[in-house]
Amino acid sequence: MKVFVINCGSSSLKFQLIDSESEKCLAKGLCERIGIDGSMITYAPEGGEKEKAISPMPDHTEAIRLVLEALTNPKTGVVKNLDEIGAVGHRVVHGGEKFAESVVIDAEVLAAVEECNDLAPLHNPANLIGINACRKLMPNTPMVGVFDTAFHQTMPEEAYLYGLPYEYYRKYKIRRYGFHGTSHSYVSARAAAVLGKQYDELKIIVCHLGNGASISAVKNGKCVDTSMGLTPLEGLIMGTRSGDIDPAIIEFLAHKEGKGIDEIMSVLNKKSGVLGLSENLSSDFRDLEDGYNKGDVNAIRALKTYCYRVAKYIGSYVAAMNGVDVICFTAGVGENAPLVRSFVCEHLGYLGIELDEEANHKRGEDIAVTTPGSRTTVMVIPTNEELAIARETVRLVG
């Protein structure tokens, strides 16, 4: 079956067409600046040239129409007509407590997703717009929603509750939800498969380090804890997000800087993380690694602080699972920054980790980066959220 995978943001839309039998991506691309002047579509068929075109996209329906046109284009398309697309898989950011699994989308599901909008006001409404636009253009094609939060729904109460009055959980469902679940699930299962071990007999820690970053503890195939919380601001230090801070800093800063809550939240989301720590050198780890190699103190400070936080979380998840067998690194930074992996592992001598520096410098493979004698295995597993969404879609409608 050919599965159209869509990840819809408020002004952008990423897509892939995946053949579920070969698990190959047949075409992929991106629509940017939807609803803004200068909308642009990028389309690349597998093995073909990448094309970019400026084309007006006043809304997501028009963006999806253009994508479908590109996929069926007689010259560069990869299907003859839309009937060849068997199903659509949509990434949905927040499924609240309602969705512990992917679901086939119908009117009832749409209403339930809408109820979660409060919990992810930037993401869920955009996801819903994408789903509705797709339903309009492909009314007879089954659609599946795959939630970023679903994999984490197995966390026990002691891991997902905050130390707040319990009535806030009862009234507003304030709790840890966690994000990047599709990636944590895919990477942990893949690590077990690559090692030839039983997924349900392993203790795995997954470090998903991208622009946003989160870490999870996966025990016997189930998530037992994760670092992002009610929102994706909690946990690790990220590209521009602060991660964990003393909550009293918000009031302290508001007084000192004469700023409102919204402004402080914007600082925590957009001006903090390694960008803020490096005195605005960069949020991109390629720049920070360059800076580190040149001895730039701002880059060194940002990288060291970032890696210390990752190592500290690993320690707490070793405690949560009473041990660890495998630690996986994934996503943009986790897959491509050997320096970050090496700094994190410097803190983990107590786990008997011995890094294999040659393997640590390889790219793009599922690979163990520790020596065969290392007591704990550290791996790099490139994530593939689109493939995971396509698999879920076929599982439900195939």
Catalytically active residues, by annotation: 148
Question: Which residue has 């405690």 as its token pair?
Answer: 319
Q: In the stretch 255-284, what mask flags binding to ligand ADP with x, by CB under 6 A? A: -----------------------------x
Q: How far is the CB of 306 from ligand ADP (least distance, A)?
A: 11
338 touches ligand ADP by CB under 6 A: no
Write the DSSP assignment of 206-247 as a string of letters.
Answer: EEEESSSEEEEEEETTEEEEES--SSTTSSS--SS---S--T
Distance in Å, CB of 188 to ligand ADP, minimum: 17
- The least CB distance from residue 15 to ligand ADP, in Å, is 15
Q: Is the alpha carbon torsion for 21, 27, 30, 35 positive or negative? A: negative
Min dist CB 274 to ligand ADP, Å, is: 8
Between the two ends of the chain, the Cα-to-Cα distance in Å is: 8
Question: Which of 52, 136, 286, 362 is close enough to bind ligand ADP by CB under 6 A?
Answer: 286
Compare residues 50 and 286 and give the one whose CB is closer to ligand ADP: 286
By CB under 6 A, the residues from 12 to 41 that bind ligand ADP are none
**Least separation, in Å, of the C-beta of 381 and ligand ADP?**
13
70: left (phi over 0), alpha (psi -120 to 50) or beta: alpha
CB of residue 209 to ligand ADP, shortest distance in Å: 8
Q: Which of 45, 95, 235, 239 binds ligand ADP (CB under 6 A)?
A: 239
> What's the half-sphere exposure (Cβ side, CA atoms, 13 Å) at 16?
19
With binding defined as CB under 6 A, does residue 183 bind ligand ADP?
no
Interatomic CA distance for residues 396 and 137, integer angstroms: 21
Nearer to ligand ADP, 101 or 287 (CB): 287
The nearer residue to ligand ADP, 289 or 386, going by C-beta atoms, is 289
Of the candidate residues 9, 130, 212, 276, the single one contacting ligand ADP (CB under 6 A): 212
- Residue 336 in contact with ligand ADP, rule: CB under 6 A: yes
Does residue number 227 form part of the binding site for ligand ADP (CB under 6 A)? no
What's the CA gap between 137 and 151, in Å, rounded? 30
Q: Which is nearer to ligand ADP, 41 or 236 (CB)?
A: 236
> What one-letter code names the amino acid at 92?
V
Nearest by Cα to 69 from 18, 25, 15, 20: 15
CA distance readout (Å), 382 to 96, 100, 143, 207: 27, 24, 26, 11
State the sign of the Cα–Cα–Cα–Cα dihedral 340, 277, 260, 253: positive
Q: Is the CB of residue 259 less than 8 Å from the CB of residue 268?
A: no
Residue 359 near residue 377, CB atoms below 8 Å: no
Local structure of residue 365 (DSSP, 8 states): S
Distance CA 361, CA 181 (A): 27
Q: Which is nearer to ligand ADP, 39 or 336 (CB)?
A: 336
Q: Based on the shown chain and the rule CB under 6 A, indicate whether residue 337 belongs to the binding site for ligand ADP.
A: yes
Site string for ligand ADP, 316-335 (x = CB under 6 A): ---------------xxx--
Chain residues that interact with ligand ADP, rule: CB under 6 A:
210-212, 239, 284-286, 289, 331-333, 336-337
